[in-house]
């Protein structure tokens, strides 16, 4: 089976003048090399395709693949993660991970929270700030937490995201609106412990494979799991395997969300405890990072006895279920 590999290489965009933060969601060459090696070791022929523009060029010359392993994040627009899948759908080429609808909705955190609420999974009360004028309409008790509504890898999340008064609220919201040019998600601040759940599979074959607690080190100069902590996680963050009743509850809720919004092949679901110690949904990433030692999903798998190669194998096997003759 011939497998194409689509991705956005961070180094390429840095050379074009993008900043470190602007390229935060993109992948390092070591991630691509690790994926290529794992897929090759599983017995597949792998071709590096690169980003959407390179993919389109190859399609125009008539190239095709039995499956595309897609980790392309895209660059512009709210639907950027869905752009490569949309092109592949047009050519009826199967691919790993979720479809265009799921990728678009999950990136827009306010929309996701509305769906999650309908699934009866607890999530903090929130407000979407679209304009300067709408800031005055927020009627939530302090403290609050503010972040861009459609960013990943902690972009726009700093210690200033924790907001304790109206002046801070206005200042931070205006800054985020100006920098990221998208709505700002303002929600109740959750003071408790933070967890992330790794899921592999699709539909009723989905499995929550493990839970880790995300602990900011005492020596760190940041107190939130934002862009800085994620970039420097080896120095600033401890990942602690979670077991027991709290971990089982996190798995239960994560599976409800994963299946409820129709995620495919894998996802990562984040929770935090409220002031009563109850788990509250933060967000879901249906296109979780896959660096063997730097990304949360492989880290979770490593703690719970799943090797990197097995993780990739299970993702591909989940995707292959969709390309059986009776599913085409």
The pLDDT-based confidence of 325 (bands split at 50, 70, 90) is low
Q: Give pLDDT tens digits for 67-95.
A: 999 999 999 999 999 999 999 999 999 99
> In this model, does residue 327 exceed pLDDT 80?
no
Which of 99-103, 122-126, 149-153, 279-283 shows the lowest mean pLDDT across its residues?
149-153
- Say what percent of the chain tops pLDDT 90: 90
Domain with CATH 3.30.1490.20 in the chain: 125-188
Determine the Cα–Cα distance for residues 271 and 261; give it in Å rounded to an integer: 16
Q: Report pLDDT for 61.
A: 97
Q: Give pLDDT tens digits for 27-67.
A: 999 999 999 999 999 999 999 999 999 999 999 999 999 99
Domain with CATH 3.40.50 in the chain: 2-95
> In this model, does residue 315 exceed pLDDT 70?
yes
Give the chain's mean pLDDT. 95
Q: Report pLDDT for 102.
A: 98
Pick the CATH number of 2-95 from 1.10.260, 3.40.1350, 3.30.1370, 3.40.50: 3.40.50
Q: Are strands 67-70 and 2-6 parallel, antiparallel or unpaired?
A: parallel
Tell me the whole-structure pTM to 2 decimals. Answer: 0.94
Pick the CATH number of 125-188 from 3.30.70.1150, 3.40.50.12280, 2.30.40.10, 3.30.1490.20: 3.30.1490.20
> Considering only CA atoms, which of 251, 239, 247 is closest in space to residue 296?
239
Q: Give pLDDT tens digits for 224-279.
A: 999 888 888 889 999 999 999 999 999 999 999 999 999 999 999 999 999 999 99
Determine the Cα–Cα distance for residues 157 and 214; give it in Å rounded to an integer: 15
CATH topology of domain 191-323: D-amino Acid Aminotransferase; Chain A, domain 1 (3.30.470)
For the chain, the first-to-last Cα distance in angstroms comes to: 16
Domain with CATH 3.30.470.20 in the chain: 191-323
Determine the Cα–Cα distance for residues 35 and 48; give it in Å rounded to an integer: 10
CB 151 within 8 A of CB 189: no
Q: Give pLDDT tens digits for 140-180.
A: 999 999 999 999 888 999 999 999 999 999 999 999 999 99
> In this model, does residue 326 exceed pLDDT 70?
no
The pLDDT-based confidence of 328 (bands split at 50, 70, 90) is very low
> Considering only CA atoms, which of 140, 183, 147 is closest in space to residue 165?
140
Q: Peptide bond before 143: cis, by omega within 30 degrees of 0?
A: yes
Determine the Cα–Cα distance for residues 51 and 140; give it in Å rounded to an integer: 41
């Amino acid at each position: 089976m011939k497998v194409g590999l689509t991705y956005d290489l961070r180094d390429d965009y840095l050379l074009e003048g993008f900043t470190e933060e602007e390229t935060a969601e993109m992948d390092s060459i070591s991630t691509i090399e690790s994926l290529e090696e794992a897929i090759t070791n599983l017995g597949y022929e792998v071709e590096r395709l690169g980003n959407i523009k390179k993919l389109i060029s190859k399609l125009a010359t008539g190239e095709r693949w039995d499956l595309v392993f897609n980790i392309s994040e895209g660059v512009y627009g709210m639907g950027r993660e869905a752009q490569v899948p949309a092109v592949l759908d047009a050519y009826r080429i199967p691919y790993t991970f979720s479809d265009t609808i799921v990728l678009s909705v999950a990136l827009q955190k306010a929309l996701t929270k509305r769906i999650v609420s309908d699934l009866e999974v607890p999530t903090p009360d929130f407000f979407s700030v679209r304009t300067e004028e709408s800031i005055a309409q927020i009627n939530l008790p302090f403290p609050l937490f503010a972040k861009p509504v459609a960013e990943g890898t902690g972009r726009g999340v700093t210690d200033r995201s924790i907001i304790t008064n109206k002046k801070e609220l206005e200042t931070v919201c205006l800054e985020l609106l100006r920098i990221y040019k998208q709505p700002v998600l303002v929600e109740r601040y959750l003071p408790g412990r933070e967890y992330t759940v790794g899921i592999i599979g699709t539909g009723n074959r989905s499995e929550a494979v493990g839970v880790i607690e995300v602990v900011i080190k005492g020596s760190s100069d940041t107190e939130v799991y934002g862009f800085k902590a994620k970039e420097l996680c080896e120095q600033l963050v401890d990942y602690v395997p979670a077991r027991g009743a709290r971990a089982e509850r996190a798995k239960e809720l994560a599976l409800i969300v994963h299946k409820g919004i129709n995620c495919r092949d894998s996802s990562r679901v984040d929770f935090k405890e409220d002031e009563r110690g109850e788990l509250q949904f933060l967000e879901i990433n249906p296109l979780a990072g896959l660096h063997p030692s730097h990304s949360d999903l492989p880290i979770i798998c490593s703690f719970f006895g799943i090797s990197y190669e097995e993780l990739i194998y299970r993702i591909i096997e989940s995707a292959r279920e969709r390309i059986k003759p009776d599913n085409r």
